[in-house]
Amino acid sequence: MTGELSPIDKAKFVAAKRAAEFVESGMRVGLGTGSTAAWLVRCLGERVREEGLRFQGVPTSTRTAELAREVGIEVISLDEARWLDLTIDGADEFDGELNLIKGGGGALLQEKIVATASDQMVVIADAAKEVETLGAFPLPVEVIPFGWTASQALLEEALVSMDVMGRKTTLRMNGERAFITDEGNYILDLHVSRIGNPRQLALVLNQIPGVVENGLFIDICDQVVIGYGDGRVETRDINAGTVSEDRVDFVESDNLFQDI
């Protein structure tokens, strides 16, 4: 029940609830991965059941696909959809220009493909995700397993000439084994602390042999919906240059998310 949620979870809930209103019947919608995106999927499932909303969802991970089917959303692949009206996803960090770090959930490759195949990308986040400069959250880089230690060495060498504060890289683990993405790849997390030039870093990282994609989303996000623990929601549109505020009321009996 929302009345039992922490302030951070309430903030995620109201952002997701507000963003779910952007979806209209007949749309093809990219569905993100992560804790905030899971709230969104639940909210959309509620609209499917209670309002008769009919749309096709393109999930960015197997776990999002499972949740979407569970709540009654029609799931299709990106190849079937070909192009999307909208993608709604979370972010690990976003700055004032709506540049993002994503990939904390390990789905950055599918997330970036889906987001860039959309007319619009909307990010949903709690206020703590906003930063002045990207980089405090470790930057994920997806690499193929073959020769990953060589890719890691090349990444660390490349960071020497970049405008960053730290150069430590670590292999993401799942228990005692390497974390495996949906595409069967590894993730190296770059602990850079601060990224002075995200655009340059994104370009350099993707030139390194073995690197599949990085978690910097530059010039991809169109709007961010920011939730607060008291129910306030702020929506920023980078293209229109507008900022709006409203409020989402909590329903104490709402148990949409009690099993998340």
Q: DSSP characters for 120-138?
A: -EEEEEEGGGB-SSS-SSP
Query: Which one is predicted more confidently, 3 or 136?
Result: 136
In this predicted structure, the answer to whether residue 195 has a pLDDT above a threshold of 70 is yes
The catalytic site residues sit at 111
Q: Which residues of the chain does CATH 3.30.70.260 include?
A: 139-213
Q: Tell me whether residue 103 is annotated as binding.
A: yes
Q: Tell me whether residue 105 is annotated as binding.
A: yes
Domain 139-213: CATH superfamily is: ACT domain (3.30.70.260)
In this predicted structure, the answer to whether residue 1 has a pLDDT above a threshold of 50 is no
The CATH T-level fold of domain 2-131+219-247 is: Rossmann fold (3.40.50)
Task: Say whether pTM exceeds 0.75.
Answer: yes
In this predicted structure, the answer to whether residue 255 has a pLDDT above a threshold of 80 is no
Encode pLDDT of 44-67 as tens digits: 999 999 999 999 999 999 999 999
Angle at alpha carbon of residue 260, lines to 11 and 182, rounded to 5°? 105
Q: Which residues of the chain does CATH 3.40.50.1360 include?
A: 2-131+219-247
The alpha carbon of 148 is separated from its chain's Cα centroid by a whole number of angstroms, namely 25
Q: Tell me whether residue 35 is annotated as binding.
A: yes
Q: Tell me whether residue 89 is annotated as binding.
A: yes
- Write down the H helix ranges in the chain: 7-20, 35-51, 62-70, 78-81, 108-116, 148-159, 198-205
**Strands of the 100-101 sheet, one edge to the other:** 93-94, 100-101, 216-217
250 half-sphere exposure, CB direction, 13 A CA radius: 22
Main-chain phi, psi angles of 95, to 5 degrees: -110, -175
